[in-house]
A and B are shown apart, each in its own frame.
Chain A
């Protein structure tokens, strides 16, 4: 004869085991249904060295279609080219943040910036930046103006800027903003002033 308290304990243990089994089954299902996050295969670059500087980024805001100057503290290397790249990395970190005022697609990157004398810059974007960019005249114009004006406002002597995608020429960013020619920095500066909040 099994004592009553042992029988009750057995029942409780069996019930607990069943409950845990159901819970484990439920957890396994939910894990299976969540898609695995894409593996980030980007190579890790060496950490940026250089003093932290106060720079001005020109940040696009979709809510009112404006371009606003925003001060930021960014570690800036000494080379002109590396400085331009760091400026755009800082800008993209704002756009890729959860509270982004101007959403870019996940994985959007500036691959590199080349400064070519006299007065030319080439900004090379990756395909995720352009292929998944939202389509529209204003939304594309804000992206282009933000990139070019941020670089030109912080880099002396720039006259013209070309935007490439994966190292190649492309007609438009996402169907509207022209990428086929060099942008005139003076004209983009004028556009940036048109895009300031009223």
Chain B
């Protein structure tokens, strides 16, 4: 298992989930895959199916409709799977905290699953890449045990 986990840190396939975001964070995530930043250098690829994913990049402030689906998506992902909260909305719902449409923040919808928080509105692609790297390092911590 240690070898596979080490390999996972070198080949994190990302799946992008928008839980009711305004799309700014989604655009910045796409920027990470484009020539200027290129996270394929780290082995990251955007996959189409959640079952292929090693990291869920979750954006958006968890409105009632999306939160149900985010929970289902996380259950469908093949473990081990990291969850990375991208953007202030995913980290803690930001200015939308008291809105009628919001449920609990991401780390209460998926308790214990969030490996990294990347605040920012939207966070710069460099910040998102740093978040992914830090999330992978938490895995490496367990690989070294």
Partners in one complex: no
